[in-house]
Structure 1
Amino acid sequence: MRLPLAALFLTLLMSAAHASPAPQQVDIPLSSGVLHAQLYKPEGEGPFPTVIALHGCGGLGAHSDPVLPRYRDWAERLLKAGNAVLLPDSYGSRELGPQCRVKESHVKARRERVADIAASRAWLMKQAWVARDRISLIGWANGASALLWAVRPQSAARDHGPDFRAAIAFYPDCRISAGLGWSARVPTLVLIGADDDVSSPPACRQMVDGARGRSALARIVVYPGAYHDFDRANTPLHAASASSDATAPERGHLGTDAEARAESQKDVAEWLAR
């Protein structure tokens, strides 16, 4: 029996060594309530570059998992590269479920979610383990739209601390921002699939092109043949309308694009390393 028991112990030990890191819940004060967030932090005292990661309209987590696999995948990737990752839960903190198919959302990208970004930054600026001049933003869909509002010159923090170092927006809805003459005060990268029929690649290109000459560096990468959610692993291409999933938009198509997913991982790493 000794050999099988020894083999079992070794297997369990190896499994534990390769287990996904567990996030820590932190509570961030808001002007009206508390913002719950999940934190992935490297071992050690830091200071660490830190990324605030903003979920889409489906929310951050589920009943059995505080961070959905799509965001956990990115958080672990960023963590492995030496970043701390803070994921604020804009919906769960307000006792709301997915907002993708809600006709009148009470949590607006340009209002409550921008306030959540500001509160997250203020909290991070007080943490000794944070490299205060290397706090960046990354967001998906509705979270990316909130990011676009948060990096506008009008949304600059009133304190004297360093601003965000960089921002990365995955397939935001650029239509309103394009019409308002959007610009950014920090380097901002927009990543979107050419065939995205949930968001609007032409509007995002118009938004970025229109910001040239009156903005911090803004760049767009359009991945040929890719649809919405192209960076989400193991998601066959499908029509959102054919699904009853409340975490999916009501229209358009969603699905992994392996080439665009791999390219976006490189693009994110390079943008954050600037």
Structure 2
Amino acid sequence: MATAPATPPCSTDPARAASRLLRAAVALALGTWLAGAAAHTPDLPAPALTQPAPLTPAGALAPNAVTRPTPGSAAAPVPAQRVQLRGDATTPALTAYWFLPREGATARALPVVVALHGCGGLLSARAARETTPGGEASAMLQQRYREYAQWLTERGYAVLMPDSFSARGRPQAICTEPNDTRGIDDRTRRADALAALRWVADQPGIDTARIVLLGWSNGAQAVLATVDASRPWPAGTPQVERAVAFYPGCKRAVQQHSFRLRAPMLLMIGGADDWTPATRCAMLQSAVLARQPGARFRLEIYPGAYHGFDGTSELHMRRDVPAAARKVQGVTVGGDAVARVAALAQLDSWLASPDP
């Protein structure tokens, strides 16, 4: 079979030149279309975000995203130490999980985040069922809390996550119990938060002037209760320097006409939240600022986002949650990619600011 003669590199044949240009244009268009199609294919996980340098608001990493290792490093999760918080006559000794930045990450005294879990508990469903000791302690925790611990320690924070439920025989959840009849209420969880703050103050190498109290949902309600300046502050308990609340129920705080803040507050909630409505938190902000004109109370409402927007689960209806003031039984929960990234950027900025 005869072989066609090769076209000289600098051929001036107009037909051949036009053919080459056409093939190149088609290849370029096809490649661009495939890249765009891949980027918009539904039901694929979001691409991993490269971990930013500590305290860089523009590069905040969303929790529950997969972390890509930096060149030459391993993306191993930060380990946790299981510790015991001392109890008293009204509060049992609690198990907590203590995370420290990797060795050599910082030479200064460490700021601390005390993080309070939601009504679903701190432990994963499997860990809550199994009591066999051993293994990496952080593997006991739900994915959300493990990855927040990673996110925070990479920014130079020590992190303490107390488990308010296991010691009271409720390792998994209280979400299905009516708010007004829960045995573990805001007063109980405030006592746990204060015990965690006292434990932190006894640890070496900790900057007790830089303690952040952070919580999600039911834990965020505990944050509100803890930093309520109308309640007495126990002697020997370090102060909270700033507080962060993800989608708390603000109803009780709104109804408490003496509620005031003893620390700057960042409250983030979804505009479509039908479990803990944003309108009540907006009412709380207005009431606090009327009582305390100089209070620092930042409220971020993310339009269209639901309860748990900083996670990655698909939106779904929970019908096992008491209706409370809602006309329809059930609530909507699930992640919102846009709100998640925006909230993490806001949290990063809030933590980095010397004057929130």
Please give the TM-score of this superposition, normalised by the length of structure 2: 0.67
User: Which amino acid letter does the alignment assign opposite residue 316 of structure 2?
Assistant: H
Residue equivalent to 2:268: 191
Cα distance in 1 between the residues matched to 2:158 and 2:217:
22
1:237 to 296, 315, 325: 315
Structure 1 CA distance for aligned equivalents of residues 193 and 175 of structure 2: 20
In structure 2, the CA distance between the partners of 1:21 and 1:238, relative to structure 1 (3 Å rule), is same
- Residue deviations 1:225-244 (CA, integer Å, cap 9, x gap): 101100012x111111289x
Cα deviation per residue 1:207-259 (whole Å; 9 max; x = unaligned)? 011111433311110001101100012x111111289xxxxxx7210111111
Matched, 1:267 2:341: no
Q: Which runs of 5+ in 2 are unaligned?
A: 1-70, 128-138, 322-328
Q: What is the alpha-carbon distance in structure 1 between the residues aligned to residue 73 and residue 86 of structure 2?
A: 34
Indicate whether 1:99 and 2:174 are aligned: yes
Q: Does the alignment pair 1:119 with 2:176?
A: no
Whether the 8 Å contact between 1:166 and 1:271 is mirrored in structure 2 is no
1:59 aligns with 2:121: yes
Q: Deviations over 1:178-210 (max 9, x none)?
A: 121332110011100000000011100000111
Aligned partners of 1:131 and 1:269: how far apart in 2?
19
Q: Tell me how far 1:159 sits from its aligned partner.
A: 2.9
Aligned equivalents of 2:320, 2:192: Cα separation in 1:
32
| Contact preservation (8 Å) 1:38, 1:66 | no
Partner amino acid, structure 1, of 2:82:
Q
Amino acid at match of 2:167: S
Name the residue aligned to 2:250.
Answer: 174
Secondary structure of 2:291's partner? coil
Work out whether 1:39 is the aligned partner of 2:98.
yes
Distance in 2 between residues matched to 1:261 and 1:46, nearest whole Å:
30
Pair 1:30-2:50 in alignment = no
Q: For residues 79-158 of structure 1, what are the structure 2 equivalents within 5 Å?
A: 79-96=153-170, 97-103=172-178, 104-108=181-185, 110-158=186-234
Which of 163, 188, 209 is equivalent to 2:286? 209
CA RMSD for the aligned pairs? 2.1
TM-score calculated relative to the size of structure 1: 0.86
Return the offset for 1:176.
Answer: 1.4
Q: Matched residues in 2 for 1:78 and 1:118: separation? A: 21
What is the CA-CA distance between 1:33 and the residue it aligns to?
Answer: 2.5
- Could you give the per-residue CA deviations for residues 51-85 of structure 1, whole angstroms, max 9, x where no partner exists? 00010000001233421001112111111111011
Give the match's secondary structure for 1:222: strand
When residues 81 and 36 of structure 1 are mapped into structure 2, their CA distance, relative to the original with a 3 A threshold, is: same
Higher alpha-carbon deviation: 80-89 or 26-35 = 26-35
> In 2, Cα distance between the equivalents of 1:219 and 1:17?
37
The reply on whether 1:49 has 2:111 as its aligned counterpart is yes
* Equivalent position of 1:258 in the other structure: 337
CA distance in 2, matches of 1:155, 1:138: 19
Question: Which residue matches 1:4?
Answer: none
Equivalent pair of 1:170/1:191 in contact (CA under 8 Å): yes
Report deviation, 1:15. Answer: 11
CA shift in 2, pair 1:20/1:50, >3 Å: same
Q: Describe the superposition over 1:33-62 as per-residue Cα deviations: whole angstroms up to 9, x where unpaired.
A: 211101111125752110000100000012
SS at match of 1:39: strand
Instruction: Give the Cα separation in 1 of the matches to 2:235 and 2:320.
Output: 47
Percent sequence identity over aligned pairs: 34
Runs of 4+ in 1 over 6 A off after TM superposition: none
Verify the 8 A CA contact 2:116 2:162 in the aligned structure 1.
yes
Alpha-carbon separation, structure 2, partners of 1:213 and 1:185 = 15
Question: SS in structure 1 opposite 2:304?
Answer: coil
Q: Quick one: distance in 1 between partners of 2:252 and 2:200?
A: 30
Which of these two proteins has the greater Rg computed from alpha carbons? 2
Residue equivalent to 1:218: 297
Deviation at 1:124, TM superposition (A): 0.7
Unaligned ranges ≥5, structure 1: 1-13, 244-249
- Classify 1:148/1:161 alpha carbon distance in 2 versus 1 (closer, same or farther; 3 Å): closer
